[in-house]
Amino acid sequence: MANVDPGIRPALLNADGMRAAFRGFFSIMELWRVDNADARAILGSPAERTFFNWRAGNIVRVPEDTLRRIGYVAGIYKALQIAYSDPALADTWIHRENRKFGNSSPLARMRGGDVTDLAAVRSYLDAARAPWS
């Protein structure tokens, strides 16, 4: 399993840091055209009310697992921006079928429910990018 994105250290985030992490997450979801049901699954299926509170910026308490998931999403986004010179290609990649994910999309794998699903997508991108590093 890949390491958590170094940009987010769950234990070190204060309230402002958590709000910024969620703003970034929801911005990425918009760029990727991910609906609320899939975004909620990517976050680990929090209660619907909790999800919409987070979306509105009302962040009181956040499990470390959720912040870890946001870190993976941020890492996936960054890897795609590096891999593709065209942001539109980068932002649509998660919707395209991929043999590595059983001919389903990376988004289908990411919404699988487990943090390891996010790690698998991140690891795939890191391995694909390695020859260019």
Return per-residue pLDDT of the chain as tens, 133 residues. Answer: 344 444 455 555 788 888 999 999 999 999 999 999 999 999 999 999 999 999 999 988 899 999 999 999 999 999 999 989 899 999 999 999 999 999 999 999 999 989 999 999 999 998 876 654 4
Burial of 47 (0-12, 13-18, 19+ CB in 10 A): exposed
What integer pLDDT is reported at residue 9 of this predicted model?
Answer: 52
Q: Which residue from 89, 93, 123 is spatially nearest to 107, judged by alpha carbons?
A: 93
What integer pLDDT is reported at residue 78 of this predicted model?
Answer: 94
Domain definitions of the chain by residue range: 10-132
Gap between the Cα atoms of 125 and 110, Å rounded: 13
What integer pLDDT is reported at residue 10 of this predicted model?
Answer: 53
What integer pLDDT is reported at residue 26 of this predicted model?
Answer: 98
What integer pLDDT is reported at residue 2 of this predicted model?
Answer: 40
Q: Where are the alpha helices (DSSP H) in the chain?
A: 15-31, 36-42, 48-55, 64-83, 87-92, 106-110, 115-129
What integer pLDDT is reported at residue 65 of this predicted model?
Answer: 93
